[in-house]
Amino acid sequence: MSIATNPGLRPELASVVSAELRPEEELWYAASPVPDSVARSYRFTTYLGGCLTALALAVAVFSILYILYAPAPAHGPDQRWSDVGLDIAPFAVLCLVFGIANLMIPGFLRRAAARTAYCITSQRAIIIKIGRVTNVSSYGPDCLVDVIKKIRPDGTGDLRFIQLSPGPSQTSNGSPENAGLSTPLLGGFSHVPDIEACEAAVLALRATTRTASDRQTEA
């Protein structure tokens, strides 16, 4: 079967993908999340960070002007530093810290996206994330119970599939509940560059389960 693949993986990520594949496994689709699309989904965080940083600068300017130009109180000029330094300045520092942290989040997300690979092979769906350690999550065709597609205006998309966890669900005290039923879990790919090719690969992988069942029935 020939399904379009995306060669746009970073070299170190491509080597991890190659090492993960089994000898008999055929790669049908491989892609990384689009960093710009990931960052755009968190644009509210950027706006919030900009607002907090601007607020911190405004409070700092007000604090400085107050110290320089405010008339000295009747009980002594030192009280001016106490009012501003103990009340306004910590608020400005807090806003600045949270503002800068929010502005940095999209950068971290871009870096994480470039170090993530979504793969569909002839045997499983794979999510690989490299960092200090390499995390690999695999989903066999039996896990692809339902496939949900989301397309964004920028052309990227998400592909979520519902899998069923093995065994019955458990209550808080550990006793079986709804015996014989599995707990639905949500997994999938986010911000993939070619959502149609990704969906075709996932559906083809899911179809392999039916093909195998038909062969067993015929046998």
- Is a pLDDT exceeding 70 seen at residue 79? no
Residues 93-116 pLDDT 10s? 888 888 888 888 888 888 888 889
131-168: pLDDT as tens digits: 888 899 888 888 787 888 888 888 888 988 766 555 44
Q: Is the pLDDT of residue 176 over 50?
A: no
- Tell me, yes or no, if the pTM score tops 0.95: no
Higher-pLDDT residue of 140, 1: 140
Task: Report in angstroms the alpha-carbon separations of 120 from 70, 145, 198, 203.
Answer: 67, 16, 8, 10
What are the extents of the domains in the chain?
A: 11-33+118-218, 43-110
Q: How far apart are CA 131 and CA 210, in angstroms?
A: 36
| pLDDT tens-digit map of 28-38 | 999 889 888 88
Please give the Cα distance from 202 to 119 (Å, whole number). 10
Structure tokens that stand for 110 in this block = 């871009």
* Whole-number Å distance between alpha carbons of 176 and 196: 40
Torsion over CA of 196, 202, 207 and 208, rounded to 10 degrees?
140
